[in-house]
Amino acid sequence: MACTRTDPRRAPPELVVTVDPLIEAFLKSPLAQLPPPEHLSAALLRAALKQYRLPALAPPIHATQDVVVPGAQGPLRVRLYRPSAARPLPLIVFFHGGGFVIGDVEIYDDTCRVLANASGCGLASVEYRLAPEAPFPAPLEDCFSALAYLAREAPAFGFDPARLAVAGDSAGGNLATATAQLARDRQGPALRYQALIYPALDPDCDSGSMRALAEGFFLSRAVMRWYWQLYLSHPQDAANPLAAPLRAELAGLPPASVITAEFDPLRDEGEAYAERLRGAGVAVVARRYLGMIHGFASMLQVTPVAQRALADIGADLRHALSA
């Protein structure tokens, strides 16, 4: 039976919200009781997160390899995942989440293993520079530089440069679709697909879901505002379509999958973006996962819905990148 949570400060009295029981249990567990990030420095938050990580599962995969690729202003760590010995494999270039401030290749290792296996594609997980030390547009330029290099050197790595996609979750979803904008506007690399997992797209943080789900669902409105404050170099960057893709011209972007979670403050901006893509003539598969919260797709230890969501995205990518 589903658990319910109500809070008159966030929603009308008649609104009863229903959270998946496994997610409810996670929200009550010590792993979800992080200190309020907006009260910490970025460095202290990164240190604290090392104590709050879910245990790694390390799902089996054919092969992984850590390499170094050129970023916009220096070398970047990239982890390559191969689900099989087949060559050349299609390639997904993946950008991790973490509010542009936290996250790394290690935290997303399980997610990337499952997504590579589900898609049958090679996957390159990019460890881009983080804010506030490297604010916008530095992380984005790192992501584009990594994509361009991996496309150019794809044959040497055993990947097919004609079958490329970008993917990412949360802040990484923002970077994935902004990288797709740059690839369109800079005449390549040519992308066949973009997979966006509850992307962060709107610095205003003022959507209906952002207001209704402002507290109590793992990601808060206050935390998102703090992340955006650290990411954007100047207030005017909030209007830049490369930082705020909801403001972008979307025609000519590759087809997309956009997934959202019912109890995620970012839900409405992700769904609005899917509608904007459709309006621009871009083919979109949009899925909302009921009972889920922000970050659920990486919670393989918490809910089987994580595996299902990655399988759904993997199937989309497999179809899009088939020969």
Residues forming the active site: 170, 264, 294
3-state secondary structure the chain: CCEEECCCCCCCCCCCEEECHHHHHHHHCHHHCCCCHHHCCHHHHHHHHCCCCCCCCCCCCCEEEEEEEECCCCEEEEEEEECCCCCCEEEEEEECCCCCCCCCCCCCHHHHHHHHHHHCCEEEEEECCCCCCCCCCHHHHHHHHHHHHHHHCHHHHCEEEEEEEEEEECHHHHHHHHHHHHHHHCCCCCCCEEEEECCCCCCCCCCHHHHHCCCCCCCCHHHHHHHHHHHCCCHHHHHCCCCCHHHCCCCCCCCEEEEEEEECCCHHHHHHHHHHHHHCCCCEEEEEEEEEECCHHHCCCCCHHHHHHHHHHHHHHHHHCCC
